[in-house]
Each structure stands twice: as structure tokens, then as C-alpha cells.
């Protein structure tokens, strides 16, 4: 089966073999696992009990951005997702302690956003330091490609934004290639060296766990800000 089966409506992976899956279940007040996450499409305002803006992070990792952003924006909603079980569990224990639950955490994949969110439901998508899949034979596993852009275009509102940061030159080039014939997004920022070119920018105000490592190694942070056009 092709890699793109992950994007298909009938895709059901949802392995229950990982011991952390059971552990995540204990946090079901704010954690949704796989298919559970796909039952609120178009109805996230009901989940949160308010019509506040909806922000989504793909590949939350250890959650630095999610934790800081949610604290800074108590009047907006946030859905963070990552597909690694153990990493999810560690973050969820921290999230549990936060009183204002203006967030939900999904154990799931970025490839599924079209099935998780309704059309025009999302204000912002954050995609920071994704796995670069550097080997040529693995490039096809990169999330940022046409099916993902199709889905992002659909779920983002008109003027909604896709925010991207990466350490990886090859993946950054790949993203720019994927955008070459795109008319559905306006590139409002493109930088090969975010921190020096745009030190005051919103994207420079937050430093994720992986970003700290890359900065300490002197790696330039590449960034894209894409405005959705409808
Ligand atoms: C290199 S880490 C970066 C984590 C975090 N964004 C940061 O900057 O510290 C990439 C994260 O993305 C997650 N990830 C990779 N591919 C994903 C996908 N298709 N859907 C959801 N999460 C994914 C991985 O599990 C991992 O936690």
C-alpha cells in the first residue's frame, strides 16, 4: 500500500499494543487517542465549550511550545498532537497539572488533520522541527507534501496561518519545492536564518527543546509563514 494510505478516510492503524496507550487512557479528560480524535471534526468549539480561536501544533514533542503558548493565550484553544506514545505520556503528566485546560492533546498523526478538523475550523497550524527523514528513500515520509498542503488549505480559515521552523536544509528546500506551484498560500515570511534576520518575530519568541539543541550547535533556523488564501 502506498504511503498516502495514511491520508485516506478508511485508514485505521490505531495500534493498541503500546503499553503507554493504556496509560494515556487515564487522562481522557483532555487526551484523545487516535480514532477518538476524529469524532469532533467541525465541533471543537463544543469540546472547549467556547468559540475561541483554534490553534493546532503537529509534532509537539516534549511540549515546550504548547505549554508556554497555552499559558500566554488563555483565551484561545489549542490542540497539540504527536504520535509517539512515551513522549506523549511524559507531556500529558505535565499538562494534567495545568488548571486552565484551554488545550486537548491528541495521540495521533499530522497526516490525519483533514479527518480531525472541519473545513475552515483552524486559525493556526504550528509545525516545528519535524523529523527531516534525510535519506532519499525516506523522503516520502516527510509530512510537508501535497496531500498535507491540501488538508491544511481545507481546515485553515481564509487568512489562517501555517507556521514552520526547521533546522534541516534539505527538508527546507523540499518544502520550498512543494510550494513552487502553490497558489493557495501566500508566503508572508521565508528565512534561512530566522534568529538573525527576524529576532523580534513571533517565531523567535519561542524556543522548543529541539531548537535549543540546534541553536547551541550553531545551526541556522529556517522558517516559513504561509497565509491561507480562499
Ligand atoms: C524532532 S521532534 C520536534 C519536537 C518539537 N516540535 C520541538 O521542536 O522540540 C519531532 C516530533 O514530531 C513528531 N512527529 C513526527 N512525525 C509526526 C507526524 N506525522 N504526526 C505527528 N507527530 C509527528 C515526533 O514524534 C517528534 O516528537
Q: Which of 82, 109, 217 for a ligand 1 pocket mutation test, highest count of atoms within 8 Å of Cβ?
A: 82
Q: Which CATH architecture has domain 3-228?
A: 3-Layer(aba) Sandwich (3.40)
Per-residue pLDDT band for 1 (boundaries 50, 70, 90) equals: very low
- Ligand 1: atom nearest CA of 165 is 8
Do residues 119 and 153 make contact, with C-beta atoms less than 8 angstroms apart?
Answer: no
- Domains of the chain by residue range: 3-228
- Ligand 1: atom nearest CA of 84 is 25
Q: Could you give the percent of the chain with pLDDT greater than 70?
A: 97
pLDDT, one tens digit per residue, over 130-171 is: 999 999 999 999 999 999 999 999 999 999 999 999 999 999
Closest C-alpha to 127, from 69, 77, 65: 65
Name residues contacting ligand 1 (CB within 6 A).
58-59, 61-62, 81-84, 87, 109-111, 128-131, 143, 208-211
Cell 530566522 sits on residue: 194
pTM: 0.97
Residue 123 Cα distances to 16, 26, 114, 152, angstroms: 32, 29, 14, 11
What is the residue-averaged pLDDT of the chain? 95
* Catalytic residue annotation: 131
Cell 475550523 sits on residue: 121
User: What does the pLDDT read at residue 15?
Assistant: 61
pLDDT, one tens digit per residue, over 51-109 is: 999 999 999 999 999 999 999 999 999 999 999 999 999 999 999 999 999 999 999 99
Amino acid at each position: 500500500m502506498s504511503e498516502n494510505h495514511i491520508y485516506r478516510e478508511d485508514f485505521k492503524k490505531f495500534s493498541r499494543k503500546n503499553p503507554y496507550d493504556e496509560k494515556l487512557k487515564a487522562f481522557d479528560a483532555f487526551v484523545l487517542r487516535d480514532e477518538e480524535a476524529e469524532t469532533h471534526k467541525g465541533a471543537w468549539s463544543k469540546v472547549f465549550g467556547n468559540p475561541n480561536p483554534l490553534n493546532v501544533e503537529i509534532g509537539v514533542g516534549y511540549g515546550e511550545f504548547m505549554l508556554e503558548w497555552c499559558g500566554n493565550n488563555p483565551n484561545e484553544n489549542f490542540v497539540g498532537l504527536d504520535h509517539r506514545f512515551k513522549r506523549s505520556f511524559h507531556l500529558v503528566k505535565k499538562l494534567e497539572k495545568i488548571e486552565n485546560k484551554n488545550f486537548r492533546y491528541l495521540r495521533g498523526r499530522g497526516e490525519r488533520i483533514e479527518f480531525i478538523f472541519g473545513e475552515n475550523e483552524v486559525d493556526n497550524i504550528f509545525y516545528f522541527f519535524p523529523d527531516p527523514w534525510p535519506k532519499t528513500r525516506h523522503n516520502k515520509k516527510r509530512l510537508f507534501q501535497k496531500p498535507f498542503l491540501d488538508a491544511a488549505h481545507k481546515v485553515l480559515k481564509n487568512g489562517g496561518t501555517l507556521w514552520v521552523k526547521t533546522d534541516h536544509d534539505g527538508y527546507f528546500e523540499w518544502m520550498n519545492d512543494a510550494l513552487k506551484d502553490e497558489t493557495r498560500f501566500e508566503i508572508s515570511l521565508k528565512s534561512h536564518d530566522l534568529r538573525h534576520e527576524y529576532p523580534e518575530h513571533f517565531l523567535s519568541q519561542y524556543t522548543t527543546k529541539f531548537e535549543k539543541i540546534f541553536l547551541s550547535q550553531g545551526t541556522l533556523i529556517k522558517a516559513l509563514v504561509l497565509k491561507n488564501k480562499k
